[in-house]
Amino acid sequence: MPVRSKPAETSDPRLARRSFLGIGAALTGSLALGVRPGHAQPASPPAEPPWSQSIGPGVVDRPYGRPADAEADVIRRNVPWLTAGTESSISFSPLQSLHGIITPNGLFFERYHSGRPDVDPDQHRLMIHGLVERPLILTMKDIVRFPSVSRIHFIECPANGGMEWRAAQLNSLQFNHGMISCAEWTGVRLSTLLEEVGVKKEAAWAMVEGADGAHMNRSLPLHKCLDDCLVVYAQNGEALRPEQGYPLRLVVPGWEGNVSIKWLRRIKLGDRPWYSREETSKYTDLMPDGTSRGFTWLIDAKSVITFPCPEKPLSGPGLYEIRGLAWTGNGKVKRVDVSTDGGVNWQTARLHEPVLSKALTKFTLPWRWDGRPALLESRVIDETGYVQPTIAQLRKQRGSNSVYHNNSIQTWQVKPDGSVFDVQLA
């Protein structure tokens, strides 16, 4: 490949300054101050725009804040053909327009199995029963009284990237990777609630169930429930949104999103799994030999370059910052490598603090684009030493019948005009 990486050059602050300002000026034409002679620039300072010449609305204008009007295309989107109807559908987060590791509450991806219930918090109850000493029915007021914790964790649907098992088909970061989001969750440790009811010795599993019309439910091993599961009522500092399970949901850190049951209403302990619909016909992985992998909860390490991407192309040669996100259900991200030549050569990206367990981690790498074709990839290695596989490696192991757990390396093809395309390498 003709693409070269030049870390020595990109670390030169003079080059970085000139290049960044040049790009900015070319893009907006508004960077009059600080542009070096010889670069395209307006002849005079910016004029006083209308909003600088009058008094704006006061504080009563917006009792609940909302994004600027110019950001109106930063929204969740769905793929109409993906599911039978909107009641059993998915909306994807616009990762191409987000920054940092926290997903705003209005842009957190959604997944419904029977639509979004409108739950009255005063009538909502959480029942904990089965193999316990003292079955309990808790109100929301009861739950909020328990000792609380706040934790930052991602939630990813295991079908994220599931449309790409056989071939690249959706030329979009949002649709290929947007079934992941990350938030600060506040609530009670599930272990605290289980201490309260007293777990019987024979108990080994929990069935967790939602209050939606489907009573969406999954079986979870008791050791995970006692480890790091949370029963949460708040997300990013405010009450859960209805689409995220208001007033109460489970968060199962690092495991596939469907086990983080929304509108949580029941936890039953037993000595074996329940084998409900969601762990037989759904959320199992069909292997090449016709058998199915069951109870594949773990989200293996995965990463993706979020800039550039098909929705955010390059605007001409020069210095850029390749940006992306990495995550792993195994704990913390240890390292992310970036390639600009389709995986022949790799450079280590910078990880941005905080690097948290089972949370999104931001990475960046300066890149001087010479205007020639490039193949951008990122590859994460987590703290267990697990290395993100290529799609070819994953297919060799699991075939291409699966829907779930495609955590392969994403390749973005950059064309000379700066446009970016979703491709797969053999």
Question: Which residues contact Co ion (rule: CB under 5 A)?
Answer: 158, 256, 296, 404
Count of residues for the chain?
A: 426
Cα-based distances in Å from 41 to 13, 23, 126, 178, 213: 21, 11, 63, 37, 60
Backbone angles phi, psi at 208, to 5 degrees: -110, 135
Is 262 or 405 the residue whose CB approaches Co ion more closely? 405
- DSSP β-bridge partners for residue 149: 187
For Co ion, the closer of residues 5 and 296 by Cβ is 296
Pick the closer one to Co ion by CB: 323 or 398: 398
Sole residue written with tokens 């495991």: 255
Smallest distance, Å, CB 257 to Co ion? 10
Nearer to Co ion, 278 or 337 (CB): 278
Identify which of residues 61 and 289 has a Cβ nearer to Co ion in the complex: 289
Both structure tokens of 79: 């793929």
Among residues 293 and 350, whose Cβ is nearest to Co ion? Answer: 293
The nearest distance, CB 181 to Co ion, in angstroms, is 18
- Nearest approach, Cβ of 408 to Co ion (angstroms)? 15
- If the CB atoms of residues 256 and 300 are measured against Co ion, the closer one turns out to be 256
Least distance CB 295 / Co ion (angstroms): 7
Q: How far is the CB of 296 from Co ion (least distance, A)?
A: 3
3-state secondary structure the chain: CCCCCCHHHHCCHHHHHHHHHHHHHHHHCCCCCCCCCCCCCCCCCCCCCHHHCCCCCCHHHCCCCCCCHHHCCCCCECCHHHCCCHHHCEEECCHHHCCCCCCCHHHCCEECCCCCCCCCCCCCEEEEEECECCCEEEEHHHHHHCCCEEEEEEEECCCCCHHHCCCCCCCCHHHHHCCEEEEEEEEEEHHHHHHHHCECCCCCEEEEEECCCCCCEEEEEHHHHHHCCEEEEEECCEECCHHHCCCCEEECCCECHHHCCCCEEEEEEECCCCCCHHHCCCCCEECCCCCEECCCCECCCEEEEEECECCECCCCCEEEEEEEEEECCCCCEEEEEEECECCCCCEECEEECCCCCCCCEEEEEEEEECCCCEEEEEEEEECCCCECCCHHHHHHHHCCCCCCCCCCCCEEEECCCCCEEEECCC
Of residues 269, 226, 225, 231, the one with CA closest to residue 250: 231
CB of 132 or CB of 157, closer to Co ion: 157
Residue 283 CB, nearest approach to Co ion (Å): 5
Looking at beta carbons only, is 126 or 159 nearer to Co ion?
159
By Cβ distance, which residue is nearest to Co ion? 296
Please give the structure tokens belonging to residue 160. Answer: 């994220």
Q: Which one, 278 or 422, has the nearer CB to Co ion?
A: 278
CB of 293 to Co ion, least distance (A): 7
